[in-house]
Structure 1
């Protein structure tokens, strides 16, 4: 059954993200299937606050964000960045695709 979320535009997602009351040092985890709007949601927050598993996969393998074979290495980088930023009381939006252990 469709509801109001099915009618949200990318701009709607960005507006919600920009207005969300987030305390400094908060970890915001965005998890869901491909195409669910996780990355679109992050467009409403400063890019320096976003750690994207897709971008880390592309960094590891030279450009292919969808290459699941590099997920384990990308998760290691993600964990290192998360730890460093949270220790410094920085807000982090973690954009990941699933809950599977790499």
Structure 2
């Protein structure tokens, strides 16, 4: 979905402001990076439109964007890159 389509869809949905499912605050439209874990594999999605709760950080993709991403993953239409990430052992406390 291109930015114009997303804006059009978003404006249409503005009549009813989206509320966060976790804390019920109003969601805010954003564009940026998201990390998705699907079937145990980590995907970094760049330049994606989503809505985020400023209170709790919950992030939500539109159904159209979700469908597009899952289709690209299924069709292997992505670039594989090696990225270094910090890893912490969870044996604290």
Question: TM class by shorter-chain length?
Answer: under 0.3
Kindly indicate which of the two structures has a greater share of residues assigned to strand: 2
Structure number with bigger Rg:
2
* Greater helix fraction, Structure 1 or Structure 2: 1
> Which one has more relative contact order, counting CA pairs under 8 Å at least 6 apart?
1
